[in-house]
Chains A and B, each alone.
Chain A
C-alpha cells in the first residue's frame, strides 16, 4: 500500500473514485500504445498470453475468491471452450454433406468440401460468434459439473473438481474421432475481420501476427475486469461472499445456496470458455496437455499470489507469474551462467532456472499461505479511522433514534405463527417433543428454559435449518419443508445465539445481504446496471443506512468497517439490523442480550420493545428474566424438549415445575420474599 500512497499524494485533492478512474485509463492507454513502442513481436506475444492467463484467473477468482468454492479442475472449462472452437473449425469432424446443411452454409457456419470421396461438411464457425457461444457452452458444463457436487463441503469439492479436471483431458485424449486424441486438433482457424465493402475495408485475417491477438486479449481482460467488479459490488457478489463466509447464515439470510453456487460456477466457467476460444484461435492447435492439472494449479497460484477475491490482485498475480516464467527466470539463468563463466564453475554454468518454474509455484503457494494469506493486493480495504466523537457512544435510555425513517409494520390480526406438535429428532435423541406454541400477530412471546432444553432447536426448526415433523404455519402458510431462504422470504427472520455475521464483510455489506431476498438484480442487471438496477441498489443502500441509523452513532460511523473488528455488543446490533433489513413480519431473537452488560441489556430491551411498538411480532429466547418480564406478553418454558409451562411471566415464575427445572431454589426464595413483602404491605 505504501507505494500507491506515495504515488497518490499529488492527487490527494481528488476523490478516490476519480483517482482510480484515471489510474485505470492510464494503464489502459499504456497497454494500447505498447505495440507501437516495441518492435519485438515476441514481447507482444508474451503479453497476449499473459492476458489469457489473466482472464482465466479472473474467472477462477469468481469461483474461489468470491464464492469460496475451491475448484482445482478449472482448466477443464478452458478445455471445453478451446475444443468447442477447435471442433467447429478444424478439419476433424466432417459429417457427410446433405441438403439439410444448406441453410447453415448460407449463413457461413459450414461449407461443403470434397477431399476425394463424397462431399463433406466442414464447420466454419466464426471466431466472433464462438467467443460468446463458447462462454455459454462452458457455462452450461459448469452447471452440469456443479449440480451434483456443489452440495459438498469445500474440501470435498476441491478433490471432486480435481477429478473432473483430470477426466476432461482423458476424454479429449480418448475420444479420437472428435478430438484427434493425443495429437490434438490441428489447423484451428484463426480469427478474421470480415470485409465491409461499403467502407472499402478488405477484411483482415489475424494469421500468426501477435498484435491483433494482443488487442483482442486486452479487450477481453477489460471486459472481464469490468464484469468482475460490477458483479462483486452487486447483490450477486454479496451473496457469493456471504456463502464463502458462512453458508448456514447465508441461507438463513435468504440466499438460495444451490442457485448462487451454480451461478458462480457457471459464470467462472464461462470466463474460462471465453478464454479457451481465444487461446486456441491464437495457437491454432488444441491438445489435451494444454489443459491438465498444472494449468489449473498455475491459475490457483495466480489467485493466491494476487489475493483471493481481489479483482486487480489476480490480474497482477497473472502478470507476475507470466513475468516470472518468461523474463525473470530466463534472465536470472543468463546472469548465473555469466557468473559461472567468470568464476569457472561448471555447476553455475549449467544452471537452468526455467526448469525451476513449477518449483517456484510451489514455493509461492507455501510462502503466501504462511505469511500473507490475503495476497499481494488484499480484497478487503483498509478501514477508515474514527474520530473521538464517533468512537464515543454513551449508553442512552430511550431506544432507537431516527425511527421515523423506518417504515412501520402492520401486524394484522389473529395469529402470526402457529406451531403445532413439532418434533425434532437427532438420531435417537428427541430434541423437541410435540411442542406447540402460538404467537399472536403483534405480540412478544418469550421462550425460556435451561440450556439444552430445545429452545434454539425450535428456532432452527422454524427457520428450516433442521428437519422437523408437525406443522409450523406462518400467516397461514406451512413453513416445514421450506429451505431457510424461503422461510426468510416468507417473512420470518432470525438472529443466532452465537452471532453468525459474515466476519470479513463490512457492517454495511452484512445489512445489505439481509435485503437479498427483497432485491431482484440478476447477473445482467449487475453487470450493465440499467436504471432499474441502479435505483434498486441505491434504495437498498439508503435502507441499510437508515436501519444502522436506528442505533444512533454506534453503527453508522462504522458502516464500512469489517464486522470482525466490532465489539461484541455492536455485532449483536449488526445481526439484528441484518435481520431487520429483510423486512421480516416476525423476528426471532436467540438470546439477543447474551454477553451484554446490564446497561447495554436494558438499552437493547427497550429497543426490542420499540420494534414491537412499531408493529413487529417478536419471538425471543432469553435467560435474563428481567428482560423477559419487561417485554413478553406470554412466556413458554421448555425443558428436555417438552413444554412444561405457559403463561404470563409472573405465572410461569410461580410454576412449581419451572422452579424445579429451571429457575431454582434461589428464585423461589426471591419470589416468596416478594410475596411476603407484598402481603405485609397489603395488611399494613
Chain B
C-alpha cells in the first residue's frame, strides 16, 4: 500500500473505532454531567450489551459467519438487534441507578463511584460464569460488499456502522436540545436543586440519562461485535477506558464533546497502531488522558472546569 492508501485505510478503521467510542463516551458524559459520577459499571454494561446482541442474533438464527442476509431481512435483523440490545442495556442502566445508586444520592464522597466498581465486577462475573471467558464468534450477516480506493477498502459494514452512529447521535442531540425532557436534563446538569424547584422531576431525569447512556453503550457493544466479529468478557475494560478518555478529551459533561472526543480517540488509536504498534496504543491513549486532565481539564469543548469544588 502507498502512504496515501494506508492513511485512507486507517482513516476508515479509525472512524469505526471512533463511532464505537463516541457512543460509549456519551454514556459517561451524560451521567457525569448530571450526577458528577464516574460510572465504572458503564465499562461492563457495554460488554453485556455485546453479549445480549450476540444472543439476539443467535435467536434469529444467525450464528458465526455463515449466514449472509440481504434486502429487507437484513434491515429487519439489524434493526431488531439494535432495538433489543439497546432496550436491554438501557433497562440494566435504569436498574443500577434505581436500586443501587439512588440510595447513595445524598451521600458525599467516593461511595457511589466505588459502588459502580462493584457493579462492574458483578456484571463481569455474571457473563464470565454464565457464558464463559473464551472468545465468542459474533454473527455478521452483512454481505461482503466493498468499495476499493487503491488498496484501501471501504466495506458495507463500515458504512452501516457510521450510518447508525450518526442516526443515534442526531436523535440524541434532537432529544437533548429540543424536547421538554431534554431541557430538564440540561437544567439538572447545571443545577439539580434549582431544576427540582422549577418542577423538573430530577429522579426521572437521572433515570433517563442512565437509560440513554446505557442504551448507547449497548449499541456500542453491538458495533464492537460487528467490527471485530467477536465478543469476550474482558472487552469492556480497555474500550471503556478509551471511551472515558474520549469523554474527557471532548469535555466531560458535554454531549458534542463526547462525540468529537470519541472520533479523535478512534483516529489516534488507528494511527498509533499503524505507526508504532498496537501494543503501545494504550500507552499513547492513557498519556493523552493524563495530559488533557492536567493541562486542559475542561477538555476541547467543555466550558465548565471540572474543578468546581
Contact surface of A with B, Cβ cutoff 8 Å: 68, 70, 72, 148-149, 151-156, 158-160, 162-164, 166-167, 170-171, 173-174, 247-248, 293, 297, 300, 304, 355-356, 358-359, 361-366, 369-370, 373
Residue contact B293 to A366, C-beta cutoff 8 Å: no
CB distance from A373 to the nearest CB of B (A): 5
**Cβ-based interface call for B197 (8 A):** no
User: Which single residue of chain A is at the shortest CB-CB distance from B290?
Assistant: A160
Q: 15 other contacts beyond A170-B283, A363-B118, with CB at 8 A cut-off?
A: A72-B117, A152-B293, A152-B297, A152-B307, A163-B241, A166-B237, A300-B114, A356-B129, A358-B121, A362-B122, A364-B118, A369-B112, A369-B115, A373-B107, A373-B111
Chain B 215-247 interface mask (CB, 8 Å, partner A; 1/0) = 000000000000000000000011001001100
The answer on a CB contact under 8 Å between A369 and B38 is no
* A366-B279 contact given A151-B294, A156-B297, A162-B241, CB 8 Å threshold: no
Q: Is the CB of B309 within 8 A of A156?
A: no
Contacts of B124 in A (CB 8 A): 358, 362
Is B289 in contact with chain A by the CB < 8 A criterion? Answer: yes
Are B107 and A297 touching (Cβ within 8 A)?
Answer: no
Query: Is the CB–CB distance between A70 and B113 below 8 Å?
Result: yes
Cβ proximity bits B87-105 to A, threshold 8 Å, 1 near / 0 not: 0000000000000100110
Residues of chain B touching chain A, judged by Cβ–Cβ distance below 8 Å, are 36-38, 100, 103-104, 107, 109-115, 117-122, 124-126, 128-129, 237-238, 241, 244-245, 248, 279-280, 282-283, 286, 289-290, 293-294, 297, 306-307, 309
Can you spell out 13 A-B residue pairs with CB atoms less than 8 angstroms apart? A160-B290, A163-B286, A163-B289, A164-B286, A166-B241, A170-B279, A170-B282, A300-B117, A355-B128, A358-B125, A362-B120, A362-B121, A364-B118
User: Of B126, B283, B293, which is in contact with the most chain A CB atoms at under 10 Å from its CB?
Assistant: B293
Contacts A152-B294, A152-B297; is A362 near B286 (CB within 8 Å)?
no
- In the complex, the 5 A-B pairs of residues with the closest C-beta atoms, listed nearest first: A365-B118, A362-B121, A163-B286, A362-B122, A359-B125
Q: In the docked arrangement, what's the CA distance between A35 and B298, Å?
A: 57
A148–B290 CA distance with the chains assembled, in angstroms: 8
Q: CA–CA, A170 to B248, complex, Å?
A: 22
Who on chain A is nearest to B96 by CB? A366
Tell whether, in the assembled complex, residue A156 and residue B129 are in contact, meaning their CB atoms are under 8 Å apart: no
Q: Could you say which of A72, A160, A162 has the most chain B C-beta atoms within 10 Å of its C-beta? A: A162
A174 to B297, Cβ gap below 8 A?
Answer: no
Cβ–Cβ contact B104 & A370, under 8 A: yes
B115: contacting residue among A72, A247, A356, A365, CB under 8 A: A365
Q: Is A293 touching B110 in the complex (CB atoms < 8 A)?
A: no
Q: Check A155–B110 contact: CB distance below 8 A.
A: yes
Shortest CB distance B128–A (Å) = 8
Please measure, in the bound complex, the distance between the C-alpha atom of A247 and the C-alpha atom of B307, giving whole angstroms: 12
Contact (Cβ within 8 A) A359 B241:
no
What B residues does A373 contact at CB under 8 A? 107, 111
Chain A residues near B290 (CB, 8 Å)? 148-149, 160, 163-164
- B286 lies within 8 A of A359 (CB): no
Would you call A156 and B118 a contact (CB within 8 A)?
A: no
Residue among A72, A158, A365 making CB contact with B121, cutoff 8 Å: A365
User: In the complex, what distance in Å separates the CA atom of A164 from the CA atom of B289?
Assistant: 10
A153 and B289: CB pair below 8 A? no
List residues of chain B with CB within 8 A of the CB of A369: 104, 111-112, 114-115, 118
Residue of A nearest to B123 (CB): A362
* Cβ of B293 to closest chain A Cβ, rounded Å: 5
User: What chain A residues lie within 8 Å of B294 (beta carbons)?
Assistant: 148-149, 151-152
- CB closest chain-A residue, reference B285: A163
Contact partner, B38, options A158, A170, A358, Cβ 8 Å: A158
Q: How far is the CA of A359 from the CA of B44 in the complex (A)?
A: 13
In the complex, the answer to whether B38 meets A159 with C-beta atoms within 8 Å is yes
Residue from the list A155, A162, A366 in contact with B119, Cβ < 8 A: A366
User: Which of chain B's residues have a CB closer than 8 A to the CB of A149?
Assistant: 290, 293-294
Q: Report whether A355 and B118 are in contact in the complex, using a CB–CB cutoff of 8 Å.
A: no
Q: How far is the CB of B70 from chain A (nearest CB, A)?
A: 42
Determine if A359 and B293 form an interchain contact, defined as CB atoms under 8 angstroms apart: no
Q: Report the Cα distance A160→B245, complex, angstroms.
A: 9
List A contacts of B307 (CB < 8 A): 152-153
Q: Which of B114, B129, B245, B289 contacts A304 (CB 8 A)?
A: B114
- Contact flag A370-B244 (CB < 8 Å), given A152-B297, A158-B38: no
Most buried by A among B114, B120, B248, B307: B114
Provide the bound-state CA to CA distance between A323 and B93, in Å.
33
A370 touches B297 (CB 8 A): no
Contact partners of B120 in chain A: CB under 8 A: 362
Of the candidates B113, B286, B309, which one forms a contact with A158 in the assembled complex, judged by CB atoms under 8 Å apart?
B113
**Is B279's CB under 8 angstroms from A173's CB?**
yes
> B122 contacts A153, CB within 8 Å?
no
- How many angstroms from the CA of A366 to the CA of B309 in the assembled complex? 26
In the complex, the chain A residue whose C-beta lies closest to that of B121 is: A362
Question: Closest residue of chain A to B305, judged by CB?
Answer: A153
> B286 touches which one: A167, A363, A370 (CB < 8 A)?
A167
**Residue contact B122 to A159, C-beta cutoff 8 Å:** no
**B residues in contact with A162, CB < 8 Å:** 241
Interface centre among A154, A248, A369 (most CB of B within 10 A): A369
Q: Which residues of B contact A171 (CB under 8 A)?
A: 283
Say yes or no: A355 contacts B38, CB within 8 Å. no
Q: Which residues of chain A come closer than 8 Å to B289, judged between CB atoms?
A: 159-160, 163
Among B125, B282, B293, the residue within 8 A (CB) of A167 is: B282
A152 to B252, CA, bound (A): 14
CA–CA, A453 to B208, complex, Å?
40
Bound CA span A248–B307, Å = 12
Inter-chain CA distance A72–B36, complex, in Å, is: 18
Residue pair B107, A356 in contact (C-beta under 8 Å): no
Knowing A149-B293, A167-B283, A174-B280 are in contact, say whether A366-B118 is a contact too (CB < 8 A).
yes
B38 cross-chain contacts in A, Cβ below 8 A: 155-156, 158-159
Cβ contacts under 8 Å, A356 to chain B = 125, 129
A156 touches B306 (CB 8 A): yes
Complex-state Cα separation, A293 to B241, whole angstroms: 12
Closest partner residue, chain B, to A173 (CB atom): B279
A364 to B: closest C-beta gap in Å: 7
Q: A153: which B residues are within 8 A, CB to CB?
A: 306-307, 309
A370 to B122, CA, bound (A): 15
Q: Are B125 and A362 in contact (CB under 8 A)?
A: yes
User: Across the two chains, which residue of chain A brings its CB closest to B291?
Assistant: A148
* Alpha-carbon distance A159/B309, docked complex (angstroms): 18
| Contacting residues, chain A, for B100 (C-beta < 8 A) | 366, 370
Set of chain B residues within 8 Å of A166, measured between Cβ atoms: 237-238, 241, 282, 286
Provide the bound-state CA to CA distance between A486 and B109, in Å. 27
Contact flag A370-B115 (CB < 8 Å), given A174-B280, A248-B309, A359-B122? yes
